Structures are given as C-alpha cells and as structure tokens.
Structure 1
C-alpha cells in the first residue's frame, strides 16, 4: 500500500483510477479547469462513468449530490464538479491534484 506522501506526489493513470457514475439523467459539462468560468471541452452523455485521476478545490457548485467546491480531474485539463459524480462520499475520495 502506498504512503500518503507517495500518493500526493503522483497522478493515477485512467487505468488505475476508480470509476464513478455521473448522476442519472444528467449530461455533464467537462471544463478545462475547476469552475464554470472555464471553457467546456466536451459534454458527458447521460449514464456516463468517469475515472477520477485527482481532485482539486474550485468554484462552489450545487448538484444532485449536494453543494461542493471539489472538482474531479477526469483527464488532461478535464474537470467535472463532484456535485454531479456519485462517489458515495462527501469530501475527497482520492488525492489532491498538483
């Protein structure tokens, strides 16, 4: 098992990251940074699952899973608000980005 310092120093690859479902019935915008002011780079289809590589604080957003400032990094410069991802927890489920 990795130590906390090892986990903080690396970003998981998509194959290593856990996958989580996007809120049912929602098409979720993927943005280039952790906030709604960042450009939309693509939109996830309803029923999508995402692999979270790391998480970072950003703009506060309300969604089906509450209000949070946690943004999930799902790819290179691709972020979705954790308020739309069912991780089963309030708070971080993996290490912080950076």
Structure 2
C-alpha cells in the first residue's frame, strides 16, 4: 500500500474517531510514527492541510517545529503518533488525556 493511500486512511480514521481535531502546521507533510519519538519508524506521512484527531498524548523525543519545542506526542490512531510541535492545539501543554 502506498503512503498516499495510507495518509487518506489515517485522516479518515481520525475524522471518524470523534476525538477533538486540530490542524497540522500549514506547509508541512508530517511524519506519523509507530511510537512517541523520532527513533520509531515512519508508518505514514500526513498530507498538506491535514487535521488530526488526538486520542491521547504522551512524552517522547523532544522535537522542534513551527509551534515550538516539545516532548509531547499526539496519538492519532492505534500505534500512530505525531510530534505535537507540528500540531496547532493552542497550548504548550497537554490538551488530551495521557496515553495509558
């Protein structure tokens, strides 16, 4: 399956999830990883203009992005994480429950 097809599936999953939705930074194609850190494998890439539903959040690798530097990672699906520094949540802290 191509990354392009996977991206549409991730976006559809998040849209159907009912979790609060947030936009990804404009102009960025954001890596979706298998865990909360840059040491985890890239399992997908979000397309430009994507929004994500955040199920829960946890700490991981510190990442610098357009919305600051943070160690918060957003779980957008089962085993799918994006760095919060690339998601416009309107907060420098947690906006969802901590992942179990």
TM-score normalized by the length of structure 1:
0.85
2:37: which partner in 1?
35
* Among 64, 80, 84, the residue aligned to 1:82: 84
Aligned length: 85
Higher-Rg structure is: 1
Alpha-carbon distance, 1:70 to partner: 0.2
- Give the SS at the match of 1:97: coil
CA RMSD of the aligned region, Å?
0.8
Q: What are the ranges of 5 or more consecutive residues in structure 2 without an aligned counterpart?
A: 1-15
Is the partner of 1:17 in helix, strand or coil?
A: coil
TM-score (norm: length of structure 2) = 0.83
Match of 1:50 among 36, 49, 52: 52
Q: Which runs of 4+ in 1 moved over 4 A?
A: none
Residue 17 of structure 1 aligns with which residue? 19
Structure with bigger helix share is: 2
1:70 equivalent to 2:72? Answer yes
Please give the per-residue CA displacement for 1:16-48, whole angstroms capped at 9, x wherever unaligned: 310000000000000000001100000000100
Offset at 1:15?
2.9
Instruction: Tell me the SS of whatever aligns to 2:85.
Output: helix
